[in-house]
A and B are shown apart, each in its own frame.
Chain A
Amino acid sequence: MHRSASAPRPPDPEEAPTHLPTLLAVACAGDPAALRAVYQTQARRLFGIAEAVLRDADAAADALQDAFLRMADGAERFDRARGLAAADWLAEVVRRSALDLARRRGREEPLADAAPSGAGDVAPDTLARVAAHAEGRRVLECLDALPEGQRRCVLLAHAHGLSHAQVAERVGVPPGTAKAWIRRGLIRLKDCLG
């Protein structure tokens, strides 16, 4: 399942046979056929995003269902003008559903699961996937410029959908420290990314 660093770049969803921005606009207007086409072309990627946050296949399925239903009933509307590519917008909607569910499932408690992605924080092949695109390389460069603690906390929080307390436990620092590192890391990240 993991893609190696040398793997070819995955097809750009914007260029996929089903033109994603059009499908999303139609799907969010309540068309089940378009919604289904979105699911068919995007479900593997989106399920991965939900599962990374929830680390539970059943919960990830619930999150994906929630995201698609919110699109179907018009609660989420894809707006081409807001600057987020269609594939990124979709990922964001699903990630938000997953985070909401993680919070309802008591995320503020310390980690129940020991090592979401093996021994390391974020596997190297995971970073390679991000580096497959120019925008991703830019984010990684800016993350690499952070002090190690800040970088680790920000990456952990995003990759596994962790709360401050969970990041703190994972990194082995007090919660206040993890919170401060994340905040400082994000400020520096913004300075770097613009």
Chain B
Amino acid sequence: MTPPGDGDGGDLDALAAEYVLGTLTASAAAEVERAIAAGDAPLRDAVAAWRRRLAPLAALAPAREPPPGLWDRIEAALPPPLARIADAPPPPRPRRVRWPAFAAAAGGWGLAAGLALVLAGVLSRPPPGPALVTMMVPGREAPAWFVEAHPGGELRLVSVNGRPPPDPARVPQLWALPPGGADPVSLGVIPSAGLLTLPPGAVQPREGTLMEITSEPIGGSPTGRPTGPVLFIGKLHPPLRSLSGALNLAHAPAGTLYAVRVFGPGVSRPR
């Protein structure tokens, strides 16, 4: 790194520092952003380094309650999903896939249109390199889960939009059923925190693997097979090319990232 104050390197670093600190004027800040967008790597790296240095100072601001209704305002201003997909670079030779489980579920939630829109972008083949699939909202208040699975085996389950009301006498248990498999394999009871991470080896995620969450007695299913009703269900699927193209995960750990929206309730397990 060029010593501070030593010619261009120091000027560049000082510029990056003041940009991150926030003291630059509007025109100077815009100039920094234009230069980075145009590919000025030294400036970009200097800004990134200053962001890391000054990040702890974000805690200077006390947390404050935002005005009620702010999320509704944001949501109303969101671009429609169609625009987001249409704006993304088109995938090469996309092949559409069927997803009967989701189609059935979508009917129950009355959101076939929005969901079909997303599914239309799903490719049968994952793009090279790491990527991520995303599914659209089943409903504003509907609880949902993301399952993020690496082919290497690590699998992470994340709750979205809160969790279903806890039944003190029951626990949610996660299962995986590979395509063609006969019996779901238990991946364990989901902790109340709503986050479950499984080490490699617990399951071998594959395209089409059915993920489901059932309601089981405390401690999990006594039989090793699902005994209670299916609360959430969905299939692992390769990423949306159109959306993953917008993700900058080029430096993420190797391996394709699968994700699936698992939702319900009231969805029966498809044959």
Contacts and interface: CB of A to CB of B under 8 A. Distances in A.
Contacts of B63: 1, 44-45, 47-48
Contacts of A138: 56
A17 B132 contact: no
A28 B246 CA distance: 8
A5 interface: no
B94 interface: no
Contacts of B71: 36, 39-40, 43
Contacts of B55: 84-85, 88, 91-92, 135
B148 interface: yes
A26 B159 CA distance: 13
B22 A99 contact: yes
Interface string B1-45: 000110000100110011011110110010000000000000000
B48 A43 contact: no
With a 10 A CB-CB cut-off, give which of B63, B77, B132 has the most chain A CB atoms.
B63
Nearest to A30: B84
A22 B259 CA distance: 10
A17 B193 contact: yes
Q: Per DSSP, are chain A's interface residues mostly helix, strand or loop, or mixed?
A: helix
Contact of A72 (B10, B79, B240, B244): B79
B197 to A, nearest CB: 8
B65 A44 contact: yes
Contact of A189 (B53, B85, B195): B53
A65 B70 contact: yes
Interface residues of B, number: 76
B251 interface: yes
A186 B160 contact: no
B180 to A, nearest CB: 29
B206 interface: no
A53 B22 contact: yes
A176 B19 CA distance: 17
B144 interface: yes
Given A17-B159, A18-B160, A88-B55, A104 B61 contact: no
B158 A57 contact: no
B134 A19 contact: no
Contact of A136 (B56, B156, B194): B56
Contacts of B70: 43, 47, 61, 64-65
A80 B148 CA distance: 15
Given A34-B146, A85-B55, A19 B66 contact: no
A43 B72 CA distance: 13
B22 A158 contact: yes
A129 B60 contact: yes
Contacts of B240: 29
Interface string A152-167: 0011011101111001
B141 to A, nearest CB: 10
Given A29-B247, A64-B66, A23 B158 contact: yes
Interface string B202-219: 000000000000000000
B169 interface: no
Given A31-B135, A84-B55, A187 B21 contact: no
A81 interface: yes
A29 B134 CA distance: 8
Contact of B249 (A2, A61, A79): A79
A146 interface: no
B71 to A, nearest CB: 5
B134 A82 contact: no
A190 B244 CA distance: 36
A82 B249 CA distance: 10
Given A17-B195, A26-B134, A39-B71, A159 B57 contact: yes
Given A25-B249, A30-B246, 10 more contacts: A1-B64, A18-B159, A47-B65, A48-B64, A65-B73, A79-B249, A91-B55, A139-B53, A159-B57, A162-B23
24 contacts: A1-B64, A18-B158, A22-B148, A25-B132, A25-B249, A30-B85, A31-B135, A33-B137, A36-B71, A39-B71, A44-B64, A44-B65, A47-B66, A48-B62, A53-B61, A58-B67, A74-B84, A79-B248, A81-B252, A84-B48, A136-B59, A164-B23, A182-B18, A186-B18
